[in-house]
Amino acid sequence: MKTRRIVTNGKAGFSLIEVLAAVAIIGIITFLALPNIVTLKQDAEVDLAISRAESVNMAVAAYIQANGQPTAVSNWAGASTDQAKWTLVSPFLAFAPTDLASFMPSGYTLTMPSSLNPLSKAGLTDPNSTAIPY
């Protein structure tokens, strides 16, 4: 059986079946690629949260070095909230917004160390309140 092509102005065009087949193939490829794209985005958010937590840890160490350990420990003990502790260390970060919540990716929370003596790392939790070891 012969196939018929629609001819417009002397040029052959695609049939409706060929166009639908191309759209279906593109849809299948998109369907297969979408889960990988979502996973990549989630992994990137975790990596960003860990990177920013490490930056805060380095800022805490710089804060101690700049102020001396006795003064830093005393000021840290006087800061009762994570936001107050953030205010102490934020000048030691290259990018430091005014509040801690806007520094972390959405849903991730950073808990500042409760004491600087001995020095410990900041705690990091994901949107499901699961601790992230880093």
Question: For the chain, what are the domain ranges?
Answer: 7-125
DSSP 83-101: HHHHHHHGGGSSS--SSHH
In this model, does residue 8 exceed pLDDT 90? no
pLDDT in tens, 76-100: 999 999 999 999 999 999 888 999 9
Q: What is the pLDDT of residue 1?
A: 58
Q: What is the pLDDT of residue 16?
A: 93
In this model, does residue 43 exceed pLDDT 70? yes
Q: What is the pLDDT of residue 44?
A: 94
Q: What is the pLDDT of residue 12?
A: 74
**pLDDT, the chain, mean:** 91
Dig out the tokens for 95 from the structure.
């990018």
Q: What percent of the chain has pLDDT over 70?
A: 92
> If you compute the radius of gyration of the chain from its CA atoms, what whole number of angstroms results?
27
**What sign for the dihedral angle of Cα 23, 26, 31, 35?**
negative
Q: How many whole angstroms from its chain centre is CA 14?
A: 45
The SS3 of residue 108 is: coil
Q: What is the pLDDT of residue 36?
A: 86
Q: What is the mean pLDDT of residues 44-65?
A: 96
Element (H, E) at 109: strand 109-111
